[in-house]
Amino acid sequence: MKICHVVGARPNFMKVAPVLRVLRGYAGVDQFVVHTGQHYDFNMSDVFFQQLEVAPPDVNLQVGSGSHAQQTAEIMTRFEPVVLQRRPDLVLVYGDVNSTVAAALVCAKLGIAVGHVEAGLRSFDRSMPEEINRLVTDQLADLLFTPSEDGNANLVREGVSPEKVHLAGNVMIDTLVRMLPAARQTVTADVPERFVLVTLHRPSNVDDSEWLDELLEALAGIGQETPVLFPVHPRTRQQLGARGKSLAGARGIRLMDPLPYLQFLGLQTRATVVVTDSGGIQEETTFLGVPCLTVRENTERPVTVTMGTNLLVGRDLQKLCDEVERALNGSGRKKSVVPPLWDGHAAERIAAVIVGEAVAAIAQG
């Protein structure tokens, strides 16, 4: 059985690593990895493969940046010849980035089976490009691996055949569990005892210049009381640079380059509170029991709110500041329980389904 794994952005890399590792243990499984090059900066891409102990991708499409339409179309154009040449039996796509939907579309038109890892997540906000990617990919996929029960419910409501859907758990937590001891060792002596960790990259936050200015002013105000560590995503830095905006002089805010996975995970383990708009970080903070304030009006990972440490603050800057203060004084939201199947074994369940499906197909002739 030949399996192609398609990745393109840093969240994909944490998800593919455990699946690759587990499938290597099955006889008769041949694997190769296609990196679309959607994220091409070293700190957003290459270093992740190194830290996760994953071999360099077998194919790099080197697509680079562009509009959603340009990037999706370019991935499809460059991915199709790879599929036609290598003829995988199954293509596994991960998450909700443009690489995910582009590869799924190519395979659907060529009649090649698609498996979607992290299927069924919904924000119910179609203004988010990622939501469109999720919806389309899940309609095209032949195997859908969900991280939580709400994913199953969403897919049933959308008419996806239950036979295709498998509750596998959160594969990103597999990587977190495995790498956590090493991540803790990366925290250096200059990291403050108490600090706010910030990440921002979504267009709804960084492409709206007026809102971004207000948000940065609020963070600067927080930084006057408590250190703020802010690894700046390339998209965010580009938006700031385009307007000649800088936080370099803001007291209490430490601007940083994008961090490799281990270093950022290490900071998460030590943070007093995390302010983010990232879906994956909502999950990681829930597992770690670290308070998380999400600068969005909705989330495709509601289990992090109902069971975890996540709180949506939307565009309410007063709420953001108040909740940061509550976290700092110990009265903020506490961890309840880790969601079911976020146990470090999701990749094993995914691999068992894939191999079982292949055996069943052979038996049927």
CA dist., res. 112 & res. 59, Å (int):
18
328 versus 238: which is more confidently predicted? 328
Q: Is the pLDDT of residue 43 over 60?
A: no
Instruction: Sheet with 59-60: list strands edge to edge.
Output: 59-60, 30-35, 2-7, 90-94, 113-117, 143-146, 165-167
- Residue 49, pLDDT score: 75
On whether residue 273 sits in a domain, the answer given is yes
Q: Is the pLDDT of residue 340 over 50?
A: yes
**If pLDDT is split at 50, 70 and 90, which confidence band does 118 have?**
very high
On whether residue 174 sits in a domain, the answer given is no
Q: Indicate whether 16 and 164 sit together in one domain.
A: yes
At residue 257, φ and ψ (nearest 5 deg) are: -70, 160
CA dist., res. 91 & res. 113, Å (int):
6
Q: Indicate whether 251 and 292 sit together in one domain.
A: yes
Q: Indicate whether 322 and 238 sit together in one domain.
A: yes
Domain count along the chain: 2
Q: Is the pLDDT of residue 332 over 80?
A: no
Q: Indicate whether 16 and 165 sit together in one domain.
A: yes
Query: What mean pLDDT is predicted for residues 75-92?
Result: 98
What radius of gyration, in Å, describes the C-alpha atoms of the chain? 20
On whether residue 234 sits in a domain, the answer given is yes
CA dist., res. 188 & res. 190, Å (int):
6
Q: Indicate whether 164 and 283 sit together in one domain.
A: no
Q: Which of 10-14, 28-32, 160-164, 243-247 has the lowest mean pLDDT?
A: 243-247
Q: Indicate whether 63 and 87 sit together in one domain.
A: yes
**If pLDDT is split at 50, 70 and 90, which confidence band does 331 have?**
confident
Q: Indicate whether 50 and 10 sit together in one domain.
A: yes
Q: Is the pLDDT of residue 42 over 50?
A: no
Using alpha carbons, select from 65, 70, 112, 64 the residue that is nearest to residue 92.
Answer: 112
- Residue 245, pLDDT score: 59
Arithmetic mean of pLDDT over the chain: 91
- Contact yes or no for 61/78 (Cβ under 8 A): yes
Query: What mean pLDDT is predicted for residues 268-292?
Result: 96
Q: Indicate whether 16 and 133 sit together in one domain.
A: yes
Q: Is the pLDDT of residue 44 over 80?
A: no
- Residue 48, pLDDT score: 65
Q: pLDDT per residue over 120-145, tens digit each?
A: 999 999 999 999 999 999 999 999 99
Q: Indicate whether 156 and 23 sit together in one domain.
A: yes
Q: Which of 35, 39, 116, 201 is catalytic?
A: 201
Query: What mean pLDDT is predicted for residues 1-28?
Result: 95
Q: Indicate whether 150 and 249 sit together in one domain.
A: no
- Contact yes or no for 97/201 (Cβ under 8 A): no
- Contact yes or no for 229/148 (Cβ under 8 A): no
**If pLDDT is split at 50, 70 and 90, which confidence band does 247 have?**
low
Q: Indicate whether 153 and 100 sit together in one domain.
A: yes
- Please give, one letter per residue, the 3-state secondary structure of the chain: CEEEEEECCHHHHHHHHHHHHHHCCCCCCEEEEEECCCCCCHHHCHHHHHHCCCCCCCEECCCCCCCHHHHHHHHHHHHHHHHHHHCCCEEEEECCCHHHHHHHHHHHHHCCEEEEECCCCCCCCCCCHHHHHHHHHHHHCCEEEECCHHHHHHHHHCCCCHHHEEECCCHHHHHHHHHHHHHHCCCCCCCCCCCEEECCCCHHHHCCHHHHHHHHHHHHHHHCCCCEEEECCHHHHHHHHHCCCCCCCCCCEEEECCCCHHHHHHHHHHCCEEEECCHHHHHHHHHHCCCEEECCCCCCCCHHHHCCCEEECCCCHHHHHHHHHHHHCCCCCCCCCCCCCCCCCHHHHHHHHHHHHHHHHHHCC
- Residue 248, pLDDT score: 54
Q: Is the pLDDT of residue 41 over 60?
A: no
- Residue 178, pLDDT score: 96
On whether residue 335 sits in a domain, the answer given is no
Query: What mean pLDDT is predicted for residues 260-282?
Result: 96
On whether residue 292 sits in a domain, the answer given is yes
Q: Is the pLDDT of residue 241 over 90?
A: no
For the chain, percent of residues with pLDDT exceeding 70 = 92
- Contact yes or no for 235/258 (Cβ under 8 A): no
Query: What mean pLDDT is predicted for residues 42-57?
Result: 73
Which residue, chain included where needed, has tokens 């996929």? 141
CA dist., res. 159 & res. 318, Å (int):
41
Q: Is 5 a catalytic residue?
A: no
Q: Is the pLDDT of residue 53 over 90?
A: no
Query: What mean pLDDT is predicted for residues 101-108?
Result: 98
Instruction: Look up the CATH number of the domain holding residue 48.
Output: 3.40.50.2000
What is the span of the domain harbouring residue 305? 186-328
Query: What mean pLDDT is predicted for residues 160-171?
Result: 98
